[in-house]
Structure 1
Amino acid sequence: MQNTAPDTFLHTLPNGVRCLVLHQPWRQAVNLSVFVRAGSQHEARRFTGISHVVEHMAFKGTATRSCQQINLAAEALGAEVNAHTDKDHTAFHIDGMAADLPAFVALLAEIVQHSTFPEEELERERQVILHEYTEFDEDPVSMAFRLFDRACYGLHPAGQPVIGSRANLERFTRADLQAHVARLYTGPNVVVAVAGPVDAPAFARQVEAAFGAMPGGTPNTVEAPAWQGGVKLRRMAGSAQCQLVLGHGMPPLADAKHTAWVLAAALLGEGMSSPLLDEIRERRGLAYHVGCSADVGALAAQFVIDAATAPEQADELLQAVAVLLQRHAEKTDSVALARARKQLAVRALRTLEQPVRRLEAAVQDVYTFGRVRSTEEQLQALHDVTPAQVRRVFATMAMRPAAIGLAGSVTARAREQAEALFVAEGRAASTIGA
C-alpha cells in the first residue's frame, strides 16, 4: 500500500497498472472506473479526436462479445456502462451492486484491452460522432470555449477540442484506432478505481487477474503549453446572443500556488452574492448567465470567466469585468473572502458523498502526485491562502494578456473592447479603472 489518504487504498501492479479503492462502507453499491491517461492533449494534430472515437468504439465489440452482448452483460446485473473523454484522460465506467464487482472488473478489462473495432461498426459509429460534431460546431457556447482554448494555447494539443476535426473523423481507420490504443493504453497510464464497500486486497487480486497482462511502458507525457492570449471570434448565423469566455493561465495542480487562484475565482464569481454576479446580473442586468471558475489540470490550468449577453451589451459587460478585476487587485473584501473560502470547503466535503466526482479527483491526484491527497490536506491549503496572495492573483492577471473566445452574434465594438481592455500591450490601469 502506498502513502495516500487514510480512507483510500492504492496498489501498483508489476506492469504499472494502479488499483485504487475509496472506502465507502456505508454504501451497498459500487462505482468502478478504468482511467487511461490518453486524451486530446496526447494527440498529434492529424489525429485530433481519435481518443474520443476509441472511447465510442470500445463498446462495439471485443474478441468474445458483440456490442449487444456487452450491453446485456451489464444490464443483466442491473448496471450500466458508460465512458467519457477529456483533455487528459479517457475513462470507462460501470456502477451496480457491490456483490457484482468481480464481474464488473472483468467486463471493463475486456472492453479496455480487447476491443476489436469492427469495420462495419466503425462506419456506423462514424456517422453518430459526426452528428455529435455538428451539434458541437453549431452551439455558440461550445464554440466560445473552443475558441478560448485556441486563444490560450494556439496549435498545442492543449488548445484542440476533444471532439477533434470533421476531416479527421471522416478518415480515421480501424488501424488508426488500434495503433492509438497500442501506443497509449499501457500499464503506467491506467488506474482501475472503485468507490464503495470494497475489500481492498480482494479487489487488488481481481485487478491483477484482469489487467496483469497489460503491456508495461512509460507514462504518457506532454510538454506544457506556452500561454498565448488574444481574441478568437466566430460569428454564427441564427444566434441572438454574444457568448464570451475570457481567462488567464494559472498554476497547474502540482503547483501549490494554484489554491490561491481557485480561491480568487470563487471570490469573484461563486454564487449570487459574488461580485461578478451581483454587479453584472443583479445590479446592471447585462447577462442572465455569468460565472467564474478555475479549471485545474495537471498539464495546464485556466482561470475562466464566461457569460452570455446581448450583442449591444457585450462591450459594457467587458468593461464591467475589467473594473472588477482591477478592483480586486487593489483590495480584498474580508467578508467576500470568508464566503468564498467556506463555499470551497463545503464543495470539498460534498465531493466525499459524490463517488463519480471523487473518483475522478482521486485519479487526477494519482497521476499528478502518485498518491491521493486527504480532504484535510486540501482544506488546510485553502485555509492557508492569505488576502495578499489573492490580490496577487488579480494583479498578475492585470499584467498579462488574456485569452478571449467570442461566438454567436458579435459586434465589431465588442471585439475592439476585448482587445483594448484585456489583450493590448501596455494597456493602462486607467483604461480599466474608470
Structure 2
Amino acid sequence: MQKLAPEVATPPMPTTVVKGDAMNADEPWRKQRPASGKAAALTLPAGKRFALPNGLTVVHIPKPGLPLVSASLVVRAGQMANPQNLPGLANFTAAMLQEGTATRSSQQLADQIANLRANAGAEAARINVSSLKANFGKSLELVADLALNPAFSATEVERLKGSRLGALAQQRSQPPAVAGVVGNMALYGDQHPLGWNALGTEDSIKATDSAALKQFWQTH
C-alpha cells in the first residue's frame, strides 16, 4: 500500500493591524457623480413600405455592406390565437412548418442553401430565412413552400409530440422556466391564451393531430 504524504496545513491568517492613512484617502470629489458623456448618435436605416398585388405588406430595410439578405414572413398566428381547448397549438404548428412540405421532406429542407427558422410568439408566427444575396430568390421559394404547402405529416406529428413532451418534462426541472409558467398563469389566468405554457400541456400535446394543425394554419 502506498503511503500518502501528510496534508499541508493551511497557514494562519495574519492578525497584525496596519496603522496609518489609507492608500486612497477619502476626498470630497469622490462623493460626486461624474458628468455623463455625450449620448451616442443613433441612426436607423430608412425603410420602405409597400403592398404586393396579393395583398401582402412588405417592409424593406436596406443594409449594404455584406452580400447577405434576411427576410421574415409574419402571420397573425401566435399564442393569442390558441383555442381554449388546445393551448400550445400555435407553437406546435410553427414547429411543424420545418418538418416537411408537399414537395420537400424535413431532411431536404435542412439541406437547402438557406437558413430557415419558424417560430411562434405571443401575437405572431414567423418564418425567417437568411441566405447569400445570390441565392435569395431560391430562398424565398422555400419560404413560400413552407407557408403554402406544409405537409403536417402524421408521422412527423407523432415524432414531434414525443419531443415536446420531453421538453415539457425538462422545463419542470428548471426553476426559471417554472417561475415563468406559474407567473403567467397568475397574471393572465386560465381563461386567457397567454396564461398557458407556450408548449401547452401534456393533454393538449397528446390531443393535437394533423387535422388540428392544418385547420389552425389555414384559418390564420
Q: Would the alpha carbon gap of residues 86 and 137 (structure 1) be closer, same or farther in structure 2, given more than 3 Å must change?
A: farther
Provide the residue aligned with 1:29 in structure 2.
Answer: 68
Contact conserved, 1:33 with 1:94, CA < 8 A, in 2?
yes
Contact conserved, 1:41 with 1:160, CA < 8 A, in 2?
no
Q: 1:96 aligned to 2:135?
A: no
Q: Distance in 2 between matches of 1:136 and 1:36?
A: 27
User: Which of 88, 96, 109 is residue 144 of structure 2 equivalent to?
Assistant: 109
Offset of residue 46 of structure 1: 0.7
Of stretches 109-118 and 154-163 in structure 1, the one that deviates more from structure 2 is 154-163
For the residue of structure 2 that corresponds to 1:58, the secondary structure is helix
Of stretches 148-157 and 14-23 in structure 1, the one that deviates more from structure 2 is 14-23
Deviation by residue 1:28-61 (Cα, 9 ceiling, x = unmatched): 2112221211111111221211111111211222
Larger Rg: 2
Offset of residue 174 of structure 1: 0.5
Deviation by residue 1:179-208 (Cα, 9 ceiling, x = unmatched): 001111xxxxxxxxxxxxxxxxxxxxxxxx
Q: Distance in 2 between matches of 1:166 and 1:137?
A: 12
Amino acid at match of 1:97: L
Identity %: 24
Offset of residue 161 of structure 1: 2.1
Contact conserved, 1:49 with 1:168, CA < 8 A, in 2?
yes
Q: 1:64 aligned to 2:100?
A: no
Provide the residue aligned with 1:325 in structure 2.
Answer: none
Amino acid at match of 1:150: M
Offset of residue 14 of structure 1: 4.1
Amino acid at match of 2:184: D
Q: Would the alpha carbon gap of residues 47 and 15 (structure 1) be closer, same or farther in structure 2, given more than 3 Å must change?
A: farther
Q: 1:175 aligned to 2:216?
A: no
Amino acid at match of 1:9: K
Contact conserved, 2:88 with 2:205, CA < 8 A, in 1?
yes
Provide the residue aligned with 2:183 in structure 1.
Answer: 148
For the residue of structure 2 that corresponds to 1:59, the secondary structure is helix
Q: Distance in 1 between matches of 2:64 and 2:93?
A: 34
Deviation by residue 1:367-413 (Cα, 9 ceiling, x = unmatched): xxxxxxxxxxxxxxxxxxxxxxxxxxxxxxxxxxxxxxxxxxxxxxx
User: Which of 174, 177, 197 is residue 139 of structure 1 equivalent to?
Assistant: 174
User: Which of 186, 200, 215 is residue 164 of structure 1 equivalent to?
Assistant: 200
Q: Distance in 2 between matches of 1:55 and 1:6?
A: 30
Following superposition of structure 1 onto structure 2, how do residues 29-428 of structure 1 map, counting pairs within 5 Å? Answer: 29-73=68-112, 77=113, 79-155=114-190, 156-184=192-220
Q: Give 5+ residue unaligned stretches, structure 2.
A: 1-43
Q: Distance in 2 between matches of 1:161 and 1:88?
A: 14
TM-score for the superposition, normalised by structure 1: 0.39
Deviation by residue 1:333-386 (Cα, 9 ceiling, x = unmatched): xxxxxxxxxxxxxxxxxxxxxxxxxxxxxxxxxxxxxxxxxxxxxxxxxxxxxx
Aligned length: 176
Contact conserved, 1:83 with 1:91, CA < 8 A, in 2?
yes
Contact conserved, 2:82 with 2:89, CA < 8 A, in 1?
yes
Q: Distance in 1 between matches of 2:154 and 2:77?
A: 23
Offset of residue 171 of structure 1: 1.2
Amino acid at match of 2:120: T
Q: Distance in 2 between matches of 1:68 and 1:141?
A: 33
Q: Distance in 1 between matches of 2:57 and 2:201?
A: 33
Offset of residue 149 of structure 1: 1.3
Whichever structure has more helix as a proportion of its residues is 1
Q: Distance in 2 between matches of 1:61 and 1:169?
A: 19
Alpha-carbon RMSD: 1.6
Offset of residue 109 of structure 1: 0.9
**Which runs of structure 1 show a deviation greater than 6 angstroms over 4 or more consecutive aligned residues?**
none
Whichever structure has more strand as a proportion of its residues is 1
Q: Distance in 2 between matches of 1:160 and 1:15?
A: 35
Q: Distance in 2 between matches of 1:87 and 1:136?
A: 19
Offset of residue 138 of structure 1: 2.7
For the residue of structure 1 that corresponds to 2:144, the secondary structure is helix
Amino acid at match of 1:53: F
TM-score for the superposition, normalised by structure 2: 0.75
For the residue of structure 2 that corresponds to 1:34, the secondary structure is strand
